[in-house]
Amino acid sequence: MTSPPYFRQRDYGYRDQIGSEATPTQYVTRLIETFSALREILTPDGTLWLNLGDVVQKGELLGLPWQVALALKKDGWRLISDVIWHKPNAMPSSTTRRPTVDHEYLFLFAKTLRYHYDADAVREPHKTFSADSRMRGGRAHLRPGGRTPEGGKFSGQQGLHSGSWAKAFHPNGRNRRTVWSVPLSKFRGAHFAVFPERLIDPCISATTVRGDIVLDPFIGSGTTAVVAKKLGRHFIGIDVVEQFCQMAERRAASTPEGALAKFIQYPVITANR
């Protein structure tokens, strides 16, 4: 579960740091080499959640999130889903040549197609028949009295059966969608935007179980560790910046729920390490 440094957006003061490459192609290559190494230690049913935002250079988008996603797929990762992280409190932009960006990408990759995914752990409230919907007739909208959709609105359609209602309207909520509206977060002591806990929680909840190990190779302020600990997962955090590791350790130490924690700080992260 991680968000690598974006291409040429911030200088962390380390030579050869990821994100400082001269060209977008070199940046993509560095990330592919990094995640290829990490795939070697991932369990067969393990997954990778990767958050990336795009960059405008010389007046046009580079398309880096999808460049990286397709390169990872070519390298052997299974691309399971793309999620749009909508940021309702995104920073305003002075541009008048394009819409203001208020989203980033969150990709779900798997090592194999035998990956673990618990849909019930991350269900969301139904919208149909709710105050947010124009269809407020409840089950009567399809046909009342213990009947199924075959006799109502969907009469004559193929593939429906007696379990259609339960399948479409699970009592614990609908299957999570791929657009997540999560505000940006701040953490006192960090001079940069941090991962929102609400963004990370469903990722860890859906693809791990209590006692699993969550790795963030770009731990930053430590939000991944905080969420993992709250959910009863073990975690490992790695970062090139020693101060970030110290910040993450302090945050994790003050977080309730016990879990094994280990932080590693490298003076330089190289592509072949």
Q: Using one digit for the tens of pLDDT, what is the confidence trace for 90-129? A: 888 888 899 999 999 999 999 999 999 999 999 998 876 5
The per-residue pLDDT for range 77-90, each reduced to its tens digit, is 999 999 999 999 88
Task: Give counts: helices (H), strands (E), the chain.
Answer: 6, 9
Averaged pLDDT of the chain: 83
The dihedral sign for the CA sequence 238, 211, 177, 41: positive
Higher pLDDT, 247 or 29: 29
- CA 108 remoteness from chain centre: 7
- Average pLDDT on 253-272 reads 53
Strands 179-181 and 78-86: parallel
pLDDT at 168: 60
Task: Record the tokens describing residue 100, joined without a space.
Answer: 């203001």
pTM score > 0.85 for this model?
no
pLDDT at 259: 45
pLDDT at 161: 46
Mind listing the domains of the chain with CATH numbers? 24-122+175-265 (3.40.50.150), 125-174 (no CATH)
Higher pLDDT, 239 or 150: 239
CA gap 3, 1 in Å, rounded: 7
198 in helix, strand or coil? helix
CA gap 113, 44 in Å, rounded: 9
- Average pLDDT on 155-172 reads 58
